[in-house]
Structure 1
Amino acid sequence: MTTPNESGPMLDAASPLPPDIEAADEPTRVPLAIEDWLTVIIMGALALITFANVLVRYFTDSSFAWTEEFSVFLMIMLALVAGSAAVARDRHIRIEYFSESGSMARRKRLAQFGALMIAILFTLIGALSIRMVWDDYRFDETTPGIGLPAWWYSIWLPIVSFAIALRAVGLMIRRGRKEYSSNENRSGKGDAS
């Protein structure tokens, strides 16, 4: 059974999203499935850790000391991995009034400029966080909860920051190659009407 959409095309009742949104991912050199699977794994680990802690706390009136530390680390990693996926899919925050107005050449330049700024920001974050990792390692810092070496957690910030910067560079290159037509919206899909 199909139902009409406001813009005109018919949707399959079993499909929660219009076909153009389901297939919105542009082809990339490095598969987007990496971020998708990392997100699933991190969310699953968070759910299992939290559930185990709740069970232990319910039955023993105490809790695992390590769960809060791991949960905070996993939530930070989740935000970074999701940020990488958002950059690669060009779903980062922007003011659409400015990014979708004006000529097609202006839109293209703004898209490239936005991707360049993201690349610069995360390159700086990655470069500056290397010093933090080195300090954690050099001074033998340990975590307050369970006493693990702090660099085991902090090493992931520069790695994922440089990955986000590379995703932004890839987006900038794709936006430079993209030809905008007058009936394309910001996501690159043709107008449905």
Structure 2
Amino acid sequence: MSEPSHSPAPQAEGPEQPRALRIEDWLTVIIMALLALITFANVLVRYFTDASFAWTEEISIFLMILLAMVAGSAAVARDQHIRIEFLTSRGTAARKQLLARLGSASVALLFALIAALSARVVWDDWRYEETSPGIGVPQWWYSVWLPICSLAITARAIGLFRRQGRLAQFEAVATDEQESA
């Protein structure tokens, strides 16, 4: 799959990438390593004892969900989230910029809403002392990460929206300078 060359926001990749955008990369590495270690340990135990760790499936599912949320945050931070290329790559530069900003504002609004609603789920898990079905730990240990990650995605989307605005201002100034020259 090739990278889109028409992206309206500056890409944050390579060694010049700010440290704040590397958080998701390190979290991805850590989560993937934990998933690999847990799965490998379970395979070894099953091979040598004909039994398995009961907790591995529950922890693995939690880590995969967390991985998806961290990857979503990374995609938003780098302006690589899903969009309909047919619509976003057509038309004038102003239209492309408007659609890009509308997209990042929509992502911010959606994940702010998810954060608020999932905070209620965490509160209910804590208040009613729900336990996980597999190993019986408090369910809020797992559910608390959804509002936290949703807020992180919201912050990334707001940051992208601001960067897109600065880029639009920079392009407008550059166009004015070219026209006056």
TM-score range, shorter chain: 0.7 to 0.9
Partner SS state of residue 79, structure 2: coil
Q: Which residues of 2 match residues 116-131 of structure 1 at below 5 A? A: 116-131=105-120
Higher helix fraction (1 or 2): 2
Partner of 1:11: none
Aligned to 2:92: 103
With over 3 angstroms needed to count, the CA separation of the structure-2 counterparts of 1:175 and 1:24, relative to structure 1, is closer
State the shift of 1:92 in Å: 0.7
- 1:75 alignment counterpart: 64
Q: Is 1:174 the equivalent of 2:163?
A: yes
Which residue does 1:59 correspond to in 2? 48
> Structure 1 counterpart of 2:31, which letter?
I
Deviations 1:38-57 (A, max 9, x none): 00000000000000000000
**What letter corresponds to residue 91 of structure 2 in structure 1?**
G
1:41 equivalent to 2:23? Answer: no
Aligned to 1:113: 102
SS in 2 for 1:94: coil
Aligned-partner residue type, residue 98 of structure 2: R
Shift of 1:154: 0.4
% same residue: 64
Structure 1 residues not aligned, in runs of 5+: 1-16, 18-22, 182-193
Check if 1:93 corresponds to 2:82.
yes
The one of 142, 150, 161 aligned to 2:150: 161
| CA-atom RMSD in angstroms | 2.0
Counterpart check, 1:149 vs 2:138: yes
TM, length-normalised to structure 2: 0.84
Q: CA deviation at 1:29?
A: 7.0
**Structure 2 partner of 1:25:** 12
TM-score under structure 1 normalisation? 0.79
Q: Which amino acid aligns with 1:89?
A: R
- 1:31 alignment partner, SS class: helix
Q: Which runs of 5+ in 2 are unaligned?
A: 4-9, 172-181
